[in-house]
Amino acid sequence: MTVADETKRLRLMIERLAAEADSDPVVVRYPPRFGRMRLGLYRRVRIAVGDVLRGLGLRARPVPKPWRVGLRHAERTEEAGPLVLWALGAERDALRRACLAFKAIEPELLPELVPVLVTDVTDFAFFSRLGWLVEYVPTLPAPAEGYAARKTRYLARRYRNAPVLPWSAGLEADFGTERIRRWIAESTTSAATP
Amino acid sequence: MTQRPAERPRVVFFSINGAGLGHLSRSLAYARRLRERADSFFFSLASAIDVIHDMGFPADYFVSEAWTRSESNAWERELLVRFGLLLEEVRPTVAVFDGTWPFQGFLDACDAYNVPRRVWSRRGLHRPGHGIVPVDERHFDLVIEPGELGTSLTVVRPRRPGRKVRTPPVTLLRDDELLDRDAARAALGLSSEGRHALLALGAGNLGDPTPAALGLIDELGRRGFDIACTRAPISIKDMPLPDNVRPLTLYPLARYLRAFDVFVGAAGYNTCCEVVQSGVPSLLVPNTVAADDQARRAAAVAKHARAVVSECLTTDERREAVDRLLALAAAAPPPRPALDGAQHAADELFALCGAGAAA
């Protein structure tokens, strides 16, 4: 399978997983409370009044801050969006080579895109030095055997609108920024076509 | 006696990403002492998952608040869902937070899932102005304070919630897990002859130890030492080393420390405990950027072990510190204080597991 085909397949799979994750109640089951239970009476009353005013449309609702994928110690990632490298089931040494290939062209992707590595490979001493966000998908023992699949679905939902590439793209002979952009464009067009 | 899996309580350890691996190492120390009695899972903000797996425990990773570019609320919101997901699948009896400041996402996830028992492993000895945390300890069933050197087991507050226990220092390994000099040298591929020095001045993620490290490498090299320097698993970049210095990735450090005639390290909690446990003559270089008071801790270590303390900022300071270190190396080691805090902490955790199951 070519990288272009693999990218299209990946895009469709992520869309399917993300749709499945939409029905997972985990997101609504864990609403942020930001310490309300631990504040004093005065603060809690003020928050309650604010909630009422917002409910009546008399006060603007705070806009949630976006989830950013850059890391503080990685320069030029302040506003970067994710380029998801999907690396579940990758072989460790091959993944290292692919990551280094992406790392070599990273300056050309920044500040627009920064890689986010979705992987079940445990190679964190290497990953830490890449300066990328790592989304790890571990296999846990009983009773949490279902955790990996559930987290994968969650990550698909989290990054459903982001460009995604198979990790093995980094091993292609003609790998480069222009190819990446073309793969992304082709997969997006294809996935949008009914 | 080992309990059958069906009967075993489950403990989730949540460890933050610090300057080094102290928080994670403490959690691992507790989990290792619980191994025969409970199943431990890790949710780590430190990117040292390999280390956790190597110790035989399952783990997940989530980017730390110190690394992410997301604003605090966005990160906490994401943490809440990620940790909630883990709680739902693992279904723990106890959740243990090891860190300076319990994150709201952790507390809210525990509330929303209704984790039966919550624990805060809260190391003390903060620098002035640090460590003032507006979180009531009574939100936790148990607060474990891993003590500094010379601390004996003390029940500070007996009743739950908020039972508080101060333990002797916590070490990751038991004494019998430390390799002796010859075995450690063989394991590391070092010559059995000659004088070896090890430098471990931190991951470099909090303050730059490079100038002091390079100066000390120069100083020790002129005294005839073969020098090795650790590469921390969580480093975001590697310190450039001279060609004659051997890079080593060592974890846990204590297992191999006796391979070396002298050790030079930062004065984090874990390192200080390992220095005392191994008995290797050491030069401690406190990290003055970290939240904990490393200068005060290093001074305390010097009372319990053959240790010299210096910031090693100048050539003269480094020369004088190495002079003192070598003089000290010839002296007899002082009596060693108790280092069995991990066992006491594990016993407290296991007792809480029983209380959680009964609740």
CA distance A116 to chain B (A): 11
* pLDDT tens profile B111-125: 999 999 999 999 876
Q: Does B154 touch chain A (CB under 8 A)?
A: no
Comparing CA positions, the residue from B256, B162, B4 lying closest to residue A142 is B4
- What burial letters (b/e) apply to A6-27, b meaning 16+ CB within 10 Å? bbbebbeebbebbebbeebebb
Q: Does A149 touch chain B (CB under 8 A)?
A: no
- Residue percentage of chain B with pLDDT more than 70: 92
Q: What is the pLDDT confidence band of residue B189, given thresholds at 50, 70 and 90?
A: very high
Q: Does B89 touch chain A (CB under 8 A)?
A: yes
pLDDT value, residue B359: 42
What is the average pLDDT across B14-41?
Answer: 92
**Chain B residue with minimum CA distance to A151:** B85
Contact B277, B175 (CB under 8 A): yes
Q: Does A28 touch chain B (CB under 8 A)?
A: no
pLDDT value, residue B104: 87
Cα–Cα distance, B175 to B172 (Å, whole number):
10
- The closest CB to that of A27, out of B71, B81, B139, belongs to B81
C-alpha distances in Å from residue B47, one per residue of B51, B67, B86, B242, B357: 9, 10, 17, 27, 32
Residue B89 and residue A141: Cβ atoms within 8 Å?
no
Ordered structural domains, chain B, with CATH? 10-170+340-358 (3.40.50.2000), 176-329 (3.40.50.2000)
pLDDT value, residue B204: 54
CA distance A105 to chain B (A): 19
Alpha helix ranges (H) inside chain A: 3-22, 26-29, 41-55, 92-109, 124-128, 147-158, 177-192
**Which site among B47, B55, B69, B75 would you substitute to test the A interface, given the most A Cβ atoms closer than 10 Å to its Cβ?**
B69
Half-sphere exposure at residue A95, Cβ-oriented, CA atoms within 13 angstroms: 20
Q: Does B208 touch chain A (CB under 8 A)?
A: no
pLDDT value, residue A21: 95
Of the listed ranges B62-76, B189-203, B284-298, the least confidently predicted one is B284-298
Of the listed ranges A61-65, B138-142, B167-171, B331-335, the least confidently predicted one is A61-65
Residue A30 and residue B53: Cβ atoms within 8 Å?
no
Residue A72 and residue B59: Cβ atoms within 8 Å?
no
Of all helices (H) and strands (E), which one includes residue B28?
helix B22-34
Sign of CA dihedral B298, B289, B83, B51: negative
pLDDT value, residue B7: 75
Cα–Cα distance, A15 to A162 (Å, whole number):
11
Half-sphere exposure at residue A182, Cβ-oriented, CA atoms within 13 angstroms: 10
Say whether pLDDT at B71 is over 90. Answer: yes
pTM: 0.91
Q: Does B234 touch chain A (CB under 8 A)?
A: yes
Residue A78 and residue B69: Cβ atoms within 8 Å?
yes
pLDDT value, residue A192: 47
- Residue percentage of chain A with pLDDT more than 90: 65
pLDDT value, residue B325: 97
* pLDDT tens profile B238-294: 788 899 999 998 899 999 999 999 999 988 899 999 999 999 999 999 987 667 788
Say whether pLDDT at A102 is over 90. Answer: yes
Cα–Cα distance, A101 to A109 (Å, whole number):
12
Cα–Cα distance, B161 to B134 (Å, whole number):
17
Q: Does A38 touch chain B (CB under 8 A)?
A: yes
Phi-psi domain of B90 (left: phi exceeds 0; alpha: psi -120 through 50; beta: other): alpha
Alpha helix ranges (H) inside B164-280: 181-188, 210-222, 253-256, 269-278
Say whether pLDDT at B163 is over 70. Answer: yes
State the burial class of residue B4 (Cβ atoms within 10 Å of its Cβ: 0-12, 13-18, 19+): exposed
Number of neighbours of residue B359 by Cβ within 10 angstroms: 10
Residue A141 and residue B58: Cβ atoms within 8 Å?
yes
Phi then psi for A132, rounded to 5 degrees? Answer: -115, 155
Q: Does B311 touch chain A (CB under 8 A)?
A: no
Q: Does A65 touch chain B (CB under 8 A)?
A: yes
Say whether pLDDT at A49 is over 50. Answer: yes
Q: Does A35 touch chain B (CB under 8 A)?
A: yes
Of all helices (H) and strands (E), which one includes residue B89?
helix B72-90
pLDDT value, residue A135: 98
pLDDT value, residue B290: 66
- Domain ranges for chain A, please list them: 3-19+66-192
pLDDT value, residue B18: 73
As separate numbers, helices (DSSP H) first and strands (DSSP E) second, chain A gives 7, 4
Q: Does A25 touch chain B (CB under 8 A)?
A: no
Q: Give ∠ CA B9-B12-B14 in degrees, rounded to 5.
A: 160
Q: What is the pLDDT confidence band of residue A186, given thresholds at 50, 70 and 90?
A: confident
Say whether pLDDT at B1 is over 70. Answer: no
Residue B237 and residue A129: Cβ atoms within 8 Å?
yes
Q: What is the pLDDT confidence band of residue B136, given thresholds at 50, 70 and 90?
A: confident
Strand (E) positions, chain B?
A: 10-15, 39-44, 59-61, 94-98, 117-121, 142-146, 154-157, 163-167, 196-200, 226-230, 245-248, 262-265, 282-284, 307-309
CA distance A5 to chain B (A): 31
Number of neighbours of residue B318 by Cβ within 10 angstroms: 24
Cα–Cα distance, B159 to B138 (Å, whole number):
10
Residue A140 and residue B84: Cβ atoms within 8 Å?
no
